[in-house]
Amino acid sequence: MENPHIIPTTEHNTMILAGTGQVTAVPDLTILRLGFQTSGENLVEAQNENARISQAVLRSLQQLGITDIRTYEYNINKIYEYEDNKQIDKGYSVRNILEIRTNNLDQVGYVIDTAVYYGANIVDLIEFRISDKEAYYLQALNLAIENAIIKADSIAKNLGLLNPPSPIRIIEIGTTPVPTRLLGSREAAYTTPIEPGSKQIEANVNIEFIY
């Protein structure tokens, strides 16, 4: 148990205790960024090839029922190589990244496989989020307050205090990120296994008690 700060005064005594609360939540939203990079000496040809792949992937994703798709990145760059300290023009590269959002987490692996089948060659991001994170955080915050109160009651009992400590000030402090705990992988024939795991949401408080 952490040592409390006990402050005697002529009027009353106070102690300041830290409380921590955690809740576990399963993500319900996936953000996936994938795309296509094409290259060639002729810019128009590289763009056309990129557009062809983009359209094929978009059609395939729409057939899967995915509608939340937007262009996240599109850029054209010159390609150079150096030989014998000389810069050699090798043409152009065209990079197109789509951002996809879906609440069907079981579908993510199949989405990736489908996009790759139709020509995608970049997976830039797979991120799992909790839509209503605030509700889980409030649960953790209440647990943090309860944690500090339990500490105060335990200290009061050990010190033989007649009256239980009463909270007079609660300070919410910064949250501490807790690493994601991955769930056990599943067997999925011919489909890339993607596991969202679970996330722990943590809240921390400092509470000043009077006794």
pLDDT for 4 equals 55
Beta bridge partners of 166: 210
The average pLDDT across 39-60 equals 95
Q: What angle do CA 38, 40, 44 make, to 5 degrees?
A: 85
Describe the chain by its helix, strand, coil percentages, rounded to 5.
30, 45, 30
pLDDT tens digits for 82-104? 888 888 888 999 999 999 999 99
Claim: this prediction has a pTM higher than 0.85: no
Q: Above 50 in pLDDT, residue 185?
A: no
For the chain, the average pLDDT equals: 86
Q: Above 80 in pLDDT, residue 189?
A: no
pLDDT for 139 equals 95
Q: How many helices (H) and strands (E) does the chain have?
A: 3, 8
pLDDT for 89 equals 87
pLDDT for 11 equals 61
Q: Which two tokens stand for residue 165?
A: 């400590």
pLDDT tens digits for 126-180? 999 998 889 999 999 999 999 999 999 999 999 998 888 999 999 999 764 444 4
d(CA 24, CA 201): 6
Q: Which two tokens stand for residue 97?
A: 């990244």
The CATH architecture one would assign to domain 29-129 is: 2-Layer Sandwich (3.30)
% residues pLDDT > 90 (the chain): 69
pLDDT for 38 equals 96
pLDDT for 203 equals 95
More confident residue, 89 or 69: 69
21-42 burial: b if 16+ Cβ within 10 Å, else e: bbbebebebbebbbbbbbbbee
Q: Domain boundaries in the chain? A: 5-27+132-210, 29-129
User: What's the topology of domain 5-27+132-210?
Assistant: Translation Initiation Factor IF3 (3.30.110)
pLDDT tens digits for 103-114? 999 899 999 999
Instruction: Give, as one character, the DSSP assignment of residue 198.
Output: B
Beta bridge partners of 77: 93
